[in-house]
Amino acid sequence: MRVVGRKTARLVAGQIVRDITAEGLNRLPSEAELLKRYGVSRPSLREALRVLEMYGVITLRPGPGGGALVNPVASHQFATASSLYFHLLGLTFRDVLTTRLRLEPMMARVAAEQVKAGRQWGGRESSRDPELTDVGFHFHVARFTGDPILLFFADALRNISVEISNGERVPPQVDTDLAVSHEHVEAAIKMGDPARAESLMREHISEYVSILETDFPYLLDHVIEWG
Ligand SMILES: [Zn+2]
């Protein structure tokens, strides 16, 4: 493996990302056009495309009608990347929940502040997105904060949590049947009551963690696994 080639590939990958964002591309031009555009060797270009594919930026489809499709940016890719580092650090489900216990109440407060400032809470019922029921409630709150970076982090942690819960067969109603339900938290957000929204969300997540501690004690020490 030539080091120079690898460095070139990284530079080309960076340039392709700049072009994707600048031109709003949802598909990359043909290989012949890309070779001309970036003036690099075929192996360097292919390595650049593999790097982008590894990060989930593009999907390479072989054959006619195929090519390099640009994926929409999604936090599950960020969740996958994060889980690699969490795995290497030996972090557990408990660590993820500890952070969620800090983040989620803060986001509920920010969401209620938005309502208080006059922004209309969209409501999950008005959404046609099936993701925005049940567990999607947390995504909805995160999105309503209007903070894209916070949404990205929070949703990555939520994705990791959901993956572990599903993998260990935790029934989804464990989250939705809590004494402080999504509806309670949502009502406080809708009323534009930041303090109440924050404390209810804290109770909601705390109760979830307590149930896991009682009914699925092994689960909290589950080390996050990548891949
Ligand atoms: Zn919940």
> What span, in angstroms and rounded, lies between the C-alpha atoms of 143 and 150?
8
Q: Give 43 Cα–ligand 1 centroid separation in angstroms.
A: 47
Are the beta carbons of 159 and 179 closer than 8 angstroms? Answer: no
Give residue 182 CA to ligand 1 midpoint distance, Å: 6
Give the percent of the chain with pLDDT over 90: 64
Cα of 86 from ligand 1 centre, angstroms: 23
Instruction: Decide if 74 contacts 64 (C-beta within 8 A).
Output: no
User: Tell me, what's the pLDDT at 13?
Assistant: 96
Using the mean position of ligand 1's atoms as its centre, give its distance from the Cα of residue 215 in Å.
17
| Model confidence at 1: pLDDT above 80 | no
Give the chain's mean pLDDT: 88
Cα 72 to middle of ligand 1, angstroms: 26
What does residue 61 show for φ and ψ, rounded to 5 degrees? -115, 125
How remote is the CA of residue 12 from the centroid of ligand 1, in Å?
A: 42
Query: In whole angstroms, what is the distance from residue 83 CA to residue 173 CA?
Result: 25
Question: What is the model's pLDDT at position 122?
Answer: 76
Q: Using CA of residue 33, residue 39, residue 41, residue 44, what is the dihedral sign?
A: negative
Let me know: does 93 contact 219? Beta carbons within 8 Å: yes
Distance 62 CA to ligand 1 centre (A): 41
The band of 23, judged by pLDDT with boundaries at 50, 70 and 90, is very high
Q: How far apart are CA 19 and CA 14, in angstroms?
A: 9
212 C-alpha to ligand 1 centroid (Å) = 13
Mean pLDDT value of segment 170-198: 89
pLDDT at 73: 85
Q: What is the pLDDT of residue 124?
A: 56
pLDDT of residue 123: 61
State the distance from the centre of ligand 1 to the C-alpha of 112, rounded, in angstroms.
17
- DSSP per-residue codes, the chain: --HHHHHHHHHHHHHHHHHHHHHT-SBPPPHHHHHHHHT--HHHHHHHHHHHHHTTSEEEE-STT-EEEEPPP-HHHHHHHHHHHHHHHT-BHHHHHHHHHHHHHHHHHHHHHHHHTTPPP--GGG---GGGSTTHHHHHHHHHTT-HHHHHHHHHHHHHHHHHHHHTT--THHHHTSSS-HHHHHHHHHTT-HHHHHHHHHHHHHHHHHHHHHH-TTGGGPBP---
- pTM of the entire predicted model: 0.82
| Structure confidence at residue 132 (pLDDT) | 46
- Per-residue pLDDT tens digits for 117-162: 999 987 655 455 544 444 488 999 999 999 999 999 999 999 899 8
What pLDDT score was predicted for residue 5? 67
